[in-house]
């Protein structure tokens, strides 16, 4: 007696990849619509998984090119443009056999995906570092220098000293480690993408916390960027201690 569709569905749900391949053969001649649909669904998932693996392989081109360097570190920052909050840099050294899928420029990922990848990066990375430079320092030395400072802090906070830095577009001054600046690196290198994700998640979480103590500006949703509602709040409520004075002169 043939198995019910619900029983077959359970088999597919519990199967590892090798078992899936055998299930395709077992049920290849089962013409019931439910079974045909199941096979189609899981085969499409397999195809998408293979496509993702190829994409990640293409994003590992710099990691392969510099594979002779024991510890390759990706560097990226978030928060150059906002009117409020810090600039945050991330530094990530991934293992040589990194198996993290869906790494990408943090701006191209949903919040849910960023949060999930953050946890996976923190679990699997050889080392991670975060650098945070606040609005007062940004006003003092300008945003570019503050970004460099945050990046240096992120590198210093790694528990392993890197042998090579893959940077998103910039060369960081005052760093005595070989650097490779890559234009749009967060979409071309898994190491830089990982750094962009941990920096983005760290900064977003900070802005949510600021919303709790400084309500009325929408920090949890706008993350400090200059939305029309945020600018209106500055004009009506005034600036807060986390606003960048050099960024809001035109609004105050």
For 158-209, the pLDDT digits (tens) are 999 999 999 999 999 999 999 999 999 999 999 999 999 999 999 999 999 9
Q: Is 136 found in the same domain as 73?
A: yes
Which pLDDT value is given to residue 140? 98
| Residues in the chain, pLDDT under 70 | 1
In a domain, 113, yes or no: yes
**What does the DSSP assignment read for 61-98?**
HHHHHTTTSS-EEEEEEE-SS-SBS-EEEEEEE--TT-
Q: Dump pLDDT digits (tens) for 46-66.
A: 899 999 999 999 999 999 999
Q: Is 86 found in the same domain as 53?
A: no
Tokens of 92: 């990530």
Q: CA 66, 168, 172: angle at the middle one, nearest 5?
A: 90
Which pLDDT value is given to residue 1? 54
Q: Is 102 found in the same domain as 50?
A: no
In a domain, 252, yes or no: no
Domain count, the chain: 2
Query: What is the residue range of 189's domain?
Result: 69-237
Lookup result for tokens 């970004």: 147
CA distance 126 to 123: 9
In a domain, 18, yes or no: yes
pTM of the full structure: 0.89
Q: CA 215, 220, 221: angle at the middle one, nearest 5?
A: 120
**Structural contact between residues 186 and 170, judged by C-beta atoms closer than 8 angstroms:** no
């Amino acid at each position: 007696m043939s198995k019910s569709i619900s029983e077959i569905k359970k088999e597919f749900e519990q199967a590892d990849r090798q078992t899936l391949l055998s299930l395709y053969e077992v049920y290849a001649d089962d013409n019931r619509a439910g079974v045909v649909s199941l096979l189609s669904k899981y085969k499409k998932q397999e195809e998408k998984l293979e496509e993702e693996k190829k994409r990640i392989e293409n994003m590992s081109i710099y990691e392969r090119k510099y594979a002779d360097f024991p510890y390759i570190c990706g560097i990226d920052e978030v928060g150059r443009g906002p009117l409020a909050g810090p600039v945050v840099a991330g530094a990530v050294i991934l293992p040589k056999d990194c198996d993290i899928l869906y790494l990408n420029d943090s701006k191209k990922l949903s919040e849910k995906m960023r949060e999930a990848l953050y946890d996976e990066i923190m679990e699997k990375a050889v080392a991670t570092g975060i650098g945070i430079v606040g609005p007062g320092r940004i006003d003092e030395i300008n945003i570019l220098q503050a970004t460099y400072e945050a990046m240096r802090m992120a590198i210093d906070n790694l528990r392993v000293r890197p042998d090579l830095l893959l940077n998103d577009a910039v060369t960081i001054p005052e760093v005595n480690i070989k650097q490779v600046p890559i234009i749009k690196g967060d979409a071309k290198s898994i190491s830089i993408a990982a750094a962009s994700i941990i920096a983005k998640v760290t900064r977003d979480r900070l802005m949510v916390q600021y919303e709790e103590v400084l309500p009325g500006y929408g920090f949890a949703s706008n993350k400090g960027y200059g939305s029309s509602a945020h600018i209106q709040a500055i004009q009506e409520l005034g600036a807060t201690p986390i606003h960048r004075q050099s960024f809001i002169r035109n609004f105050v």
